[in-house]
Amino acid sequence: MKRITAILILCIAALTLRAQSSIRVDAPNLVASSEQFNVTFVIEGEDSPTDFQWNPGEDFQLVWGPQKGSSRSVTIVNGKRTTSSQTTFTYVLMPKKEGKFTLSGATAKVGGREISSSGITVEVVSAQGGGSSQGGAASSGGQVQESGNISDDDLFLRLTLSRTSAVVGEPINVSLKLYQRVSVAGFEDARFPSFNGFWSQEIQAPTSIEFTRENYNGSLYNSAILRTWTIIPQQSGDITIEPAELVCLVNVRVATGGGSIFDSFFQDDFRTVRKRIYSKSFTVKVSPLPAGAPASFGGGVGNFSMNASLSANEVNAHDAASLKVTISGSGNVYLLEAPKIQFPPDFEAYDVKITDSQGAKTFEYPFIPRSSGDFTIGPVEYSYFDINTRKYVTLKSDPMPLSVARGSSTDSPGAGVINNVSRRDVRNLDSDIRYIVTKTPKFNSDGGFFAFGKTFWAIAAALALLWLAAFLLLRKLLARRSDVALTKNRKATSMARKRLALAGDFLQKNLYTAFYEELHKALLGFAGDKLNMDLADMSKENIGAELCSRGASEGIAKEFTDLLDACDYARYAPDAGHEAMEEHYKKSLEVISAIDHSMKENKKAPAKGVAAALLLLLLPGALNAAPQDYPDSLWNAGTAAYADGRWQDALDAWTQIDALGIESADLSFNMGNACFKLSDYAHAILNYERALKLDPSSADIRHNLQYANEFIQDNIEPVPDFFLTEWLRALARQLPADTWAVLFLLLLAAALGLLLLFLLGRSSSAKKAGFYGAIAAAVLCLLCIAASRTQYNQAVNSSDAIIVRAVTSVKSSPSGSTAKDLFILHEGAKVHILDSVGEWLNIELPDGRQGWLLQSDLEII
């Protein structure tokens, strides 16, 4: 049974080997119209074929064939004998016309089985200019022999690009091929493009050049690939790829003159000709990536996918682990930047390990957790620019939980008490600019400065006028105290009321004569004290006239003189009764009060004029300080966009506010932050400088400006100023200009008050205190106004600027053609403008160097 099984297996194997016999066809797929070529059918197997049949068809002329060839081999390995045979049938054909034609398959019988070959396609091209193995080559060789020159159509370089327009970061495939229809013996002095402005990687660089047939522009050539590259543009604009160069050593047959006709048959004379050939140059139009790239954009351009995973989901504290992020796809894989990973606090992260593979890039992030607990890493985000959709696409992984158990080195056994804890300083994990201002600021159309504005000068003038008024008033009060008549004038009303009170007692007792005598004394005493008149001059006519001159109306003056007449009449007339006495008493009180009120109002009129003048001085400042309506909706929209990471949207919203012509230090500060996040460091520095002009004392603005300056290329050391100047600037930066101005006004008010004490003080100690206090306040006033002026001048100074062009040359004179290049500046550098000539500006660097720049290369702060 076993023997029968073995025999069956051998039979099946033999049949399988026979079934594997087939017909292979060897023929060129590209020939010239005048070229003879071979078509060879190869049959391999254990048995020889029989009854071979093939028809070349009507498109080709059978020149010769078939030529049959056969070979047989026997091999013995480990006692096992194997026999194989190979049979070939060769035909020589010539095309009848140009085009693409299909040769039919051949058939044969092997071991009683019929086998066949598949058809093949042959393309026939024109033999014009040579390139065929027989007629074409003879024609070309004849031309070279006769002229000694090699035509550019017979030997040339061809540089091809997969695309001539791309965006920054989009890969471009480049190939350099050599085409020839002559005998090339060697090569010299190969010069390949340097691809300036591109990142490039060599893909193919064959050590031996192998030519294959190729149809180029309808002609047959032998072509070979010299180099292939992948290039990626790194900047926008029109970038030129320079041509490639190559020196080819070409064998040229030389005709010999004279001799026998058999010399040219038995002897060939050749010489080597050096031919330098060039490829064409190309200009690639590179467009910049669209604005609004997400914060997770890592420079990828193409189509990618991402996979993120942890090496372990459970680790012990102080044990190492890693996070692997693999980004794969088509595009500029070589230039992908590492994704930004935010590890939990107290995780020590180490340098990223990057591994490149075919079409993928792996980033490994080693880390060590220092504390136990349950943590979550990620999700990892990575954004790239999709070439097909022309949009940014963000890949996002799932959050990766990580459980960290307590390590044995930090736990005491059983008790759970931490031993040997090493205390460490709090270390910085990273650095960044400080966050934007979220509170809606107060916008102003003039920069918002109180210092040296209309309100400031109005208040200073008001203080001076108030001091003058106070000085005059106090001096007058002191003079009054030393003037007896004036004292009587002030006390006239009170004395008259006392005498009227005595007259009132007499009225209550109904003492007729005593009442009118006391009433008469009160009226005359009031007139004498109030009008400062002697008794001899106190006639009714004089009293009436003096009252009118002091501001009392004629009616009141007449009522007063009528009361005097009534008192004189009552003293010598019979008793008129109690009602008349009471009426005269009330009338006296009213008249005295009316006269006193009229004279006081007359004195207050000049004071009202002074108050009106002060009001007119303060009114413009008050109007100027009136709050303006500011676009808080745009501000809030920009703040929300910034919080979401949409930097461009935030910048657009704040730029609309800036376009309204209103200013704010917070607005410029936020615009600088948005520009920094967009990697526009030049405009970030420009906005920080503008914010610093409006608020020179802000620590946040100075921090962000200093941090942004670390990202620019130029490091210019400034010439140090005099130490007193630096001291004054440092002192002035402690407070804003407006605060210094307010302190100046307060100290000015104090100095003026102390000056009043010195001028009008009665005691020597008061005068001494006023003198020294006024001097001290005056010195502090000068210090405050100097600090305020320093801050103000820095804010309103418009002679500083920031370079906004990527690279610019500083010229020796305001001319682009005849001037020399002195030095190079890059974007973000700060310069001081000295002068201007047309569109040229004379600038000075902080280190003292000077030169000329175009106005379009910079922006004024």
Instruction: Give the confidence band of 695 by pLDDT, cuts at 50, 70, 90.
Output: confident
Share of the chain above pLDDT 70, in %: 83
Q: What does the pLDDT look like over 362-391, one tens digit per residue?
A: 999 999 998 888 999 989 999 999 999 999
pLDDT reading at 506 higher than 70 = yes
Per-residue pLDDT, averaged over 774-779, amounts to 91
pLDDT reading at 7 higher than 80 = no
pLDDT of residue 258: 53
Q: What does the pLDDT look like over 294-312, one tens digit per residue?
A: 989 999 999 999 999 999 9
| Strand order through the sheet with 373-377 | 314-316, 400-405, 373-377
pLDDT of residue 271: 84
pLDDT of residue 17: 46
Residue 219 carries which side chain, given as an amino acid letter?
S
Instruction: For residue 93, list its beta bridge partners.
Output: 37, 62
Instruction: Give the confidence band of 20 by pLDDT, cuts at 50, 70, 90.
Output: low
Residues 6 or more apart whose CB falls under 8 angstroms from that of 362 comprise 324, 325, 326, 327, 354, 355, 356
Check if the beta carbon of residue 165 is closer than 8 Å to that of residue 284. Answer: yes
pLDDT reading at 145 higher than 50 = no
Q: Which of 754-763, 816-825, 838-847 has the highest mean pLDDT?
A: 838-847
Q: What does the pLDDT look like over 640-656, one tens digit per residue?
A: 999 999 999 999 999 99
pLDDT of residue 334: 87
pLDDT of residue 488: 56
DSSP string, 357-389: ETTEEEEEEEEEE-S-EEEEE---EEEEEETTT
Question: How is residue 106 written in tokens?
Answer: 């051949």
The distance in angstroms from the start CA to the end CA of the chain is 104
pLDDT of residue 396: 94
pTM for the full model? 0.46
pLDDT reading at 819 higher than 60 = yes
Report CA-CA distances (Å) from 91 to 23, 34, 65, 88, 800: 15, 16, 5, 10, 86
What span, in angstroms and rounded, lies between the C-alpha atoms of 144 and 42? 39
pLDDT of residue 263: 55
pLDDT reading at 280 higher than 90 = yes
Per-residue pLDDT, averaged over 500-507, amounts to 81
pLDDT reading at 492 higher than 70 = no
Alpha helices in 148-289 (DSSP H): 263-266
Check if the beta carbon of residue 279 is closer than 8 Å to that of residue 243. Answer: yes
What span, in angstroms and rounded, lies between the C-alpha atoms of 3 and 9? 10
Check if the beta carbon of residue 132 is closer than 8 Å to that of residue 215. Answer: no
pLDDT of residue 141: 41
pLDDT of residue 789: 85
pLDDT reading at 264 higher than 80 = no
Classify residue 339 as left (phi > 0), alpha (psi -120 to 50) or beta: beta
What span, in angstroms and rounded, lies between the C-alpha atoms of 354 and 352? 6
pLDDT of residue 489: 58
Instruction: Give the confidence band of 850 by pLDDT, cuts at 50, 70, 90.
Output: very high
Instruction: Give the confidence band of 604 by pLDDT, cuts at 50, 70, 90.
Output: low
pLDDT reading at 631 higher than 50 = yes
Per-residue pLDDT, averaged over 125-129, amounts to 69
Instruction: Give the confidence band of 410 by pLDDT, cuts at 50, 70, 90.
Output: very low
Pairwise pLDDT comparison (142 vs 208), residue with the higher score: 208
Instruction: Give the confidence band of 1 by pLDDT, cuts at 50, 70, 90.
Output: low
pLDDT of residue 163: 93
pLDDT of residue 594: 82
Q: What does the pLDDT look like over 48-104, one tens digit per residue?
A: 888 899 999 888 999 988 998 888 888 788 878 877 888 999 999 999 888 899 999
Residue 631 carries which side chain, given as an amino acid letter?
P
pLDDT reading at 411 higher than 90 = no
The answer to whether the Cα torsion of 25, 28, 29, 35 is positive or negative is negative
Instruction: Give the confidence band of 684 by pLDDT, cuts at 50, 70, 90.
Output: very high
Q: What does the pLDDT look like over 218-239, one tens digit per residue?
A: 888 899 999 999 999 999 999 9
pLDDT reading at 140 higher than 60 = no
Angle at 315 (CA atoms; ends 312, 318), nearest 5 degrees: 130
pLDDT reading at 313 higher than 80 = yes
Instruction: Give the confidence band of 255 by pLDDT, cuts at 50, 70, 90.
Output: low
What span, in angstroms and rounded, lies between the C-alpha atoms of 67 and 751? 126
pLDDT of residue 267: 53
Question: How is residue 548 written in tokens?
Answer: 């009118």
Q: Which of 469-478, 511-520, 740-749 has the highest mean pLDDT?
A: 740-749
Question: How is residue 477 written in tokens?
Answer: 């009060």
The 8 Å CB, 24+ separation contacts for 567-572 are 567/516, 567/517, 567/519, 567/520, 567/523, 568/520, 570/512, 570/516, 571/513, 571/516, 571/517, 571/520
pLDDT of residue 707: 93
Spacing of C-alpha 662 from chain mean position: 22
pLDDT of residue 232: 94
Residues 6 or more apart whose CB falls under 8 angstroms from that of 146 comprise none
Please provide the average confidence, as pLDDT, over all residues in the chain. Answer: 82
